[in-house]
Structure 1
Amino acid sequence: MTAEALYYLIIGILLLDYLADRILDYLNARRFGDPMPEEVRDLYDQEAYQKSQAYKTVNYRFGLLAATASLLITLAFLISGGFGWLDSLAASVSPHPVGQALTFFGLLFLGGEILGLPFAYYQTFVIEERFGFNKQTPALFWTDKLKGWALAMVFGGGMLVLVMWLYAWVGQGFWVYAWILITAFTVFMNLFYSRLIVPLFNRQQPLEDGPLKDRIYEYARQVGFELQKIFVIDGSRRSTKANAYFSGFGNQRRVTLYDTLIKDLEEQEVVAVLAHEVGHYKRNHILFNLLTSAALTGVTLYVLSLFINHPELSLAIGVDRPSFHAALLSFALLYSPISEITGLVMNYFSRKFEFEADAFARETFAAEPLVSSLKKLSRNHLSNLTPHPAYVFVRYSHPPLTARIRNLRDAEKGRKVR
């Protein structure tokens, strides 16, 4: 395929991706006004439900504006030869291919982040503030941004340097070594993310001794789940929204609870949420996701190795001199439809795994505490109770709230009948 054909293919992919996303958003928005499903009629009074609908509508309109601006900027940069200009600038900064690649992607990253800053700021300090979610100060917002940029440059830049070195060392077979490298990095981050990265942004403290800690350890003992550490994170510094997660493997395994979760839920509801998370471990969902992610990375790198030497990839985005970094960017744009397809498959399995983890929590703890915790979290987050099925299929990694409640209660009824 010629560089010109690839150029128009990239534009077509950008437009089709934008159009597909906007159709999904529109279909979903049309259901904002639907009545509350029977399973969640007790979730909101009329005033609170109107607030929930308003929150979704504002985010829908803001998302449309942000996505349209992003598309127009990307198309303008591509059509006007912006990538070619950026490549020339990178070549003037460094004569070495690695230095050029770091400059090229570094400037591209910073440019995108700077253009996105007004949208991020408005989202946080206008929309989230208006609906009572935001607890961030402007100083914390900017500090988070600077830390995030630094980490992205260190890890992203470091990975790029290593991959390019492997490419220069072994040629087309670099993908095997890059695959091993990226997989090892992924495992490392799974093990030590909570220890190395989280403290840069949040304070973590061991859960205080008391009834909640005792109930968590008692449940873990009953289901044979070795639990080493329980930490509380100060999520309330940034938002009123709550969360909980597991991280690490083996003796590095730890539970992290947001302080907002402890505040919003009763003790048995917190244990039910953790029982759900334990279900992911017991049903090997974590391992499946890790192995699947590694496999998809390997496939992507292999396909990249087949095309990275084709100069047409670089020329397609307006770069005069074929290079690894220009071909990598062009490949990423062309590969995005395949990424969308694999994303659909992964979301399907993720929703399936959520049902299985719910079932584990029901069987080993109880259904109703999990139901009530899901309701409270959904209410506190002003979640969408009536999503469009197509939107769920494409975008949702978790089943809708009503589906989870129905599944939990139907299974519980069936168990009582037997």
Structure 2
Amino acid sequence: MVLNTLFYTIIGILLLQFLLETLLKSLNAKRYNDPIPEELDDVFDKEAYQKAQEYKKTNHRFGILRSSFSLVLTLVFLIFGGFEWVDRLVRQVTEAPIGMALLFFGTILLGSSLLTLPFSYYATFYIEDKFGFNKATKSLFFIDQLKTWIMSLIIGAAILPLVMLFYRWAGQHFWIYAWSLIAVFSILMNLFYSKLIVPLFNKQSPLGEGTLKNDIEHYAQKVGFDLKNIFVIDGSKRSTKANAYFSGFGKEKRVTLYDTLISDLEEKEIVAVLAHEVGHYKRKHIVFNMLLSLVLTALTLFVLSLFINNPQVSLAIGVTRPSFHAALVGFAILYSPISELTGLFMNHLSRTFEYQADTYAKDTHGADALVSSLKKLSKNNLSNLTPHPAYVFAYYSHPPLIDRIRNLQRSKKTTDTRIPTS
């Protein structure tokens, strides 16, 4: 196995990322026993607070173990020629570049999934079960895993060959065509995710007639929001944790409420959660996030096009024969520090958008119902009420509960009775 400077650079990147992640997790863990802010002293009673503390500590220890295993597995694979072994194995089957790439990534992803499966199983049936969250059966768990693997293989087998064909046809300019393909795929997924992907895992039903639907429709009409698709998803078959999300745009837009959300919150609180989701739509967050994601994808593919022909990028993962698929793996690791930086920016932007959506909900529905819903959801999910600022900065896509409440209570609802419509 020929080792080059980039090989040791990859080792350094992996070690540095692990150390930084572990440091941030440790800093966050030191805040677990901090006093709860006065604004949140009604979230947990004594028993629930102790349970939340234990849940956080258990997940912290398990997270360190899981990330350590992942690091060791990756380092062993690199240092002892794991990528070279897989590369030779697939070359015994075919020398066709596309065939080799599909077998190479399929073998690695399947092997990685099998090796990390016990961690997912333990997290679901020991940790989540111990703290009363898990509702999934073992058969459902394994069926979900199988569906996920099959779906990943199908998507990968559809996109990767096209990207490689673009590369062979357009050379260094392949990134333009690859980006166009990914852009179309991303837009279609955003439009039809709820119709195509969600039904593979969950049952969705239109929200039934009643006061909740009437309240939601009344609110939507008040703010000038055309909402005809309100669905309830059976999230309770896997977990007691509650959620709601907005997907699609135009005629395909829909709001999906978890059945656990409906059972946990009062109707006015559910409408407040919906108002928050409408705020995202009204403030164009969904479109902006998609456009920004596509810009970052274009940047990544452009940089890839500059290095894909450099054999050293392939050799950096320990293979002896350069190839497109080996270069993709090497580039992904070498580019990861830049991905981390763009991830920080995206998380910051996401937190900003959450504040804006909260403010929209406050201005159109009032702050009290949203505050009480956020507190209930935090209690039911055993959320961390005192996260470390550095950990929030690095990993949180939503602001901590205390910051969201302070934002909502910063100023009283305006006396202007007009409702924003854009």
* TM norm structure 1: 0.98
Deviations 1:175-208 (A, max 9, x none): 0000011011000000000000100100111100
8 Å CA contact 1:194–1:247 kept in 2: the answer is yes
> Is contact 1:3–1:313 with CA below 8 Å preserved after alignment?
no
What is the 5 A alignment of 1:43-58?
43-58=43-58
* 2:365 pairs with 1:365: yes
Q: Which amino acid aligns with 1:301?
A: L
Q: Distance in 2 between matches of 1:159 and 1:3?
A: 31
1:68-83 alignment, distance < 5 Å: 68-83=68-83
Cα deviation 1:353-399 (Å, max 9, x = unaligned):
10000000000111000000000000000000000000001110000
Measured in 2, the distance between the counterparts of 1:121 and 1:93 equals 33
Equivalent in the alignment of 2:412: 412
In the alignment, the residues of structure 2 paired with residue 308 and residue 49 of structure 1 have an alpha-carbon distance, to the nearest angstrom, of: 52
State the one-letter code of the partner of 2:401. Answer: L
Q: Output the CA distance in 1 between the equivalents of 2:347 and 2:155.
A: 26
Matched with 1:236 is 236
Q: Which residue of 1 aligns with 2:193?
A: 193
1:412 match: secondary structure: coil
Report 1:196-345 matches (<5 A): 196-345=196-345
> Displacement of 1:157 after TM fit?
2.1
**Mean alpha-carbon deviation: is it higher for 162-171 or for 235-244?**
162-171
Stretches of structure 1 lacking an aligned partner (at least 5 in a row) = none
Distance in 2, Cα, partners of 1:35 & 1:45: 13
SS of residue paired to 2:411: helix
Where 2:209 maps in the other structure, the secondary structure is coil
Secondary structure of residue in 1 paired with 2:410 = helix
**Code of the aligned partner of 1:185:** F
CA contact (8 A) 1:179 1:301 kept: yes
Distance 1:131 1:85 in 2: 42
CA distance in 1, matches of 2:82, 2:195: 40
Q: Give distance in 2, aligned partners of 1:233 and 1:96.
A: 44
Task: Give the secondary-structure state (helix, strand or coil) at the position aligned to 1:411.
Answer: coil
Q: Supply the distance in 1 between the matched residues of 2:264 and 2:130 (Cα, whole angstroms).
A: 20
Aligned to 2:16: 16
| Cα deviation, residue 156, structure 1 | 1.8
Q: Is the 8 A contact 1:319 1:326 kept in 2?
A: yes
SS of alignment partner, residue 200 of structure 2: helix
Provide the identity percentage: 62
Partner of 2:350: 350
Tell me what 2:401 maps to: 401
SS state of the match for residue 136, structure 2? Answer: coil
* Letter of the 2:24 counterpart: L
- In 2, Cα distance between equivalents of 1:315 and 1:350: 37
Give the aligned partner of residue 388 of structure 1. 388
Tell me if structure 2 keeps the 8 A contact 1:3–1:312.
no
Query: 2:197 & 2:214 partners in 1: Cα distance?
Result: 28
Q: Residue 397 of structure 1 aligns to a residue in which SS?
A: coil
- C-alpha deviations, 1:104-142, integer Å up to 9, x for none? 000100011001011000000000000000000000000
- SS of residue paired to 1:226: coil
* Aligned match of 1:140: 140
AA in 2 matched with 1:42? D
1:281 and 1:208 map into 2 onto residues whose CA distance is 23
Please tell me whether the aligned partners of residues 231 and 257 of structure 1 are also in contact (alpha carbons under 8 angstroms). yes
Distance in structure 2 (CA, Å) of the matches to 1:93 and 1:115: 24
Shift of 1:93: 1.6
Given the alignment of the two structures, is residue 172 of structure 1 paired with residue 143 of structure 2, yes or no?
no
Secondary structure at 2:4's aligned position in 1?
helix
Corresponding residue for residue 66 of structure 1: 66
CA offset at residue 4 of structure 1?
Answer: 1.0
Matches of 1:397 and 1:403, distance apart in 2:
13
Paired residue for 1:160? Answer: 160
Q: Distance in 1 between matches of 2:312 and 2:27?
A: 38
2:114, 2:331 → 1: CA distance? 24
Deviations 1:43-72 (A, max 9, x none): 111111010000000000000001001100
Could you say what secondary structure the match of 1:231 adopts?
strand
Residue aligning to 1:85: 85
- Give the stretch that moved more between structures: 310-319 or 336-345: 310-319
Partner of 1:151: 151
Alignment deviations for residues 335-354 of structure 1 (CA, whole Å, 9 cap, x no partner): 00000000000111111110
* One-letter amino acid of the structure 2 residue matched with residue 92 of structure 1: Q
Q: Deviations over 1:5-30 (max 9, x none)?
A: 10000000000000000000000000
- CA deviation string 1:151-170 (max 9, x = no partner): 00001221111101111111
> What is the CA–CA distance in structure 2 between the aligned matches of 1:178 and 1:33, rounded to whole Å?
49
Q: CA deviation at 1:228?
A: 2.0
* 1:416 to partner: Cα distance: 6.9
Q: Does structure 2 retain, via aligned residues, the 8 Å contact 1:228–1:252?
A: no
- Tell me the equivalent position of 1:113: 113
Which amino acid letter does the alignment assign opposite residue 298 of structure 2?
G
Q: Secondary structure at the match of 1:121?
A: helix
- 1:71 corresponds to which letter in structure 2? L
